[in-house]
Amino acid sequence: MSALRNISYFTVMAVLIVLVGQFQSWNLALSILNLCLISAIMALGVNMQWGYAGLFNVGVMGFAAMGGLAAMLISVPPVREAWSAGGVGVLVGLCVLVITLFAAVYTYTKMKANPLRMVLIIIISVAGYALMRSILDPATTAIEKVNPASTGYLGGLGLPILFAWPVGGVLAGAAAWVVGKITLGLRADYLAIATLGISEIIVAMLKNEDWMTRGVKNVVGLPRPVPYEINLQRTDWFIELAAKLNTDPVTFSSVFVKLSYAALFTVVLLIVLYLSEKALRSPWGRMMRAIRDNEVSANAMGKNVTARHLQVFVMGSVVVGIAGAMLTTLDGQLTPSSYQPLRFTFLIWVMVIVGGSGNNWGAVLGGFVIWFFWIEAEPMGIWLMNALTSQMDAGSALKAHLLDSAQHMRLMTMGLILLLTLRFSPRGLLPERTGRQ
């Protein structure tokens, strides 16, 4: 019964996308599909944290940004001049930072709790920070001076970009580990604020540390795992294929590229989905849900709840990081200003809740449904607003205002969808499968 329902929901989604292809354009349909796939993976990661452990992570965007950062750092060729100008300084500065942190933590754990310990930690932190800045600042200024118009940053490792995807996961996981270690075990509200804070800091660093990311100047032209359209248009077998399918090579090239991405993304999605389902059905998964449903009893039985929560928090963030790397790969550029912390995070949350929290297939479905609606809402909203205001005079200020505002309605509509789903259908489209079925 539930399998039939699953399949029917997904079929409806597929049909919708095909309809878009027919009536609007295939390029658009495939763009939507690709972002649906990425959103689905992010929703899977968030679902792990929420559905398995009841953690409300408001900083999803920050972890996705870590993934995007990894994509850039791995694939972009290094800027030799920048490295010689300040590379050493940066490395030494970062070492100082790490040593300072270790020293502070070491002091904290090894000394007994007394005022002297606090004083010592403050001295270590301040001195370490000052030392780091004195080494780092001249180095970063030098780096940023190297050809700022086209580089002005350190560049990356120049490796194939597909490597970046797992690395993005690792980076995000590391950040999650730090945040989680500090804030898990406290109230849900504190975790929410802390994750919001960390994601804002991560995005701010991406926007301001030009020596690393070029900041708001963006890093464009990231290498691709799939062919370029221009190259395809010149290859013989491709031109023949286009002719056979009765399309022109130009449109077909962009369709082909998008299809290639879709294939890659689908592979990743299937892998993540498979692993998630296995984990869910394993004894580990059952234990996680037992902890979620009754934390007090679990604690009493000797399960280290905080450690488990940390595990899940890191795992979910790793998945989000991978998706973030994929997103940046698809974009072909690292655009720090595109990461608007709460807006995208919020969309993912709506996906998880509407799709069905605790159910992996539900998260995937939610990813598809909500992203599709989000994209189509703008043309639909404008169309609707036009229809509603068609009776008004062409020059009316109110009409202009209403038409203008159509775009703001998207977010508000998402808010309403979240509230309505939470209230009237909290288990979502594909509810979590409990033991009694």
Partner 1 sequence: MEILNAFALLSNFVLVPAIAYGSQLALGALGVTLVFGILRFSNFAHGDTMAFGTMVTILFTWWFQSMGINLGPLPTALLALPLGIFFCAVYVLISDRLVYRFYRSKRADPVIYLIASVGVMFVTNGVVRFIIGPDDQNFSDGERFIIRAREFKEMTGLSEGISIKVSQGITFVTMIIVVAALFWFLNKTRSGKSMRAYSDNEDLALLSGINPDRVVAITWILAAALATIAGTLYGLDKSFKPFTYFQLLLPIFAAAIVGGLGNPLGAIAGGFIIAFSEIMITYAYKRFAAYLHPGDWVPEGLLQLLSTDYKFAVSFLILLLVLLVRPNGIFRGTGT
Between 384 and 419, name the residue whose CB sits nearer to partner 1: 419
Is residue 291 within 8 A of residue 283, CB to CB? The reply is no
CB of 251 to partner 1, least distance (A): 36
What interhelical angle do 249-281 and 283-293 show, nearest 10?
80
Between 271 and 416, name the residue whose CB sits nearer to partner 1: 416
User: How many residues make up the chain in this entry?
Assistant: 437
Tell me how far CA of residue 309 lies from CA of 261, 275, 363, 384, in angstroms: 33, 18, 20, 45
**In the range 221-250, which residues lie near partner 1 by CB under 8 A?**
none
CB of 198 to partner 1, least distance (A): 7
Question: Which tokens hold the place of 299?
Answer: 């604690």
Burial of 170 (0-12, 13-18, 19+ CB in 10 A): middle
CB of 201 to partner 1, least distance (A): 5
First-to-final CA distance of the chain: 10
Between 24 and 340, name the residue whose CB sits nearer to partner 1: 340
- Interaction between residue 204 and partner 1 (CB under 8 A): yes
Between 216 and 307, name the residue whose CB sits nearer to partner 1: 216
Between 258 and 292, name the residue whose CB sits nearer to partner 1: 292
Compute φ and ψ for 219, nearest 5 degrees.
-110, 110
Is residue 303 within 8 A of residue 291, CB to CB? The reply is yes
- Interaction between residue 392 and partner 1 (CB under 8 A): no
| The only residue of 56, 102, 274, 383 in contact with partner 1, by rule CB under 8 A | 56
**In the range 401-420, which residues lie near partner 1 by CB under 8 A?**
401, 404-405, 408-409, 411-416, 418-419
**In the range 174-203, which residues lie near partner 1 by CB under 8 A?**
182-183, 186-190, 192-194, 196-198, 200-201
How far apart are the C-alpha atoms of 21 and 11, rounded to whole Å?
A: 15
Burial of 172 (0-12, 13-18, 19+ CB in 10 A): buried
Of the ranges 51-59, 149-157, 234-242, 278-286, which one interacts with partner 1 (CB under 8 A)? Answer: 51-59
How far apart are the C-alpha atoms of 153 and 140, rounded to whole Å?
A: 8
Question: Which tokens hold the place of 194?
Answer: 């802390």
Between 166 and 185, name the residue whose CB sits nearer to partner 1: 185
Instruction: With CA atoms as reference, report the closest residue to 191 among 310, 67, 292.
Output: 310
**In the range 336-375, which residues lie near partner 1 by CB under 8 A?**
342, 346, 349, 353
CB of 21 to partner 1, least distance (A): 30
- Interaction between residue 398 and partner 1 (CB under 8 A): no
Name the residue with tokens 């499968």.
Answer: 433
The number of residues that bind partner 1 (CB under 8 A) is: 42
CB of 264 to partner 1, least distance (A): 32
Between 171 and 191, name the residue whose CB sits nearer to partner 1: 191
How many other CB atoms are there within 10 angstroms of residue 410's CB atom? 18
How far apart are the C-alpha atoms of 187 and 180, rounded to whole Å?
A: 12
**In the range 128-167, which residues lie near partner 1 by CB under 8 A?**
129, 137
Instruction: With CA atoms as reference, report the closest residue to 347 among 377, 318, 319, 325.
Output: 377
Instruction: With CA atoms as reference, report the closest residue to 249 among 238, 264, 262, 237.
Output: 238
Is residue 366 within 8 A of residue 352, CB to CB? The reply is yes
CB of 117 to partner 1, least distance (A): 11
CB of 182 to partner 1, least distance (A): 6
Which residues would be at the binding site for partner 1 (CB under 8 A)? 54, 56, 58, 129, 137, 182-183, 186-190, 192-194, 196-198, 200-201, 204, 207-208, 342, 346, 349, 353, 401, 404-405, 408-409, 411-416, 418-419, 422-423
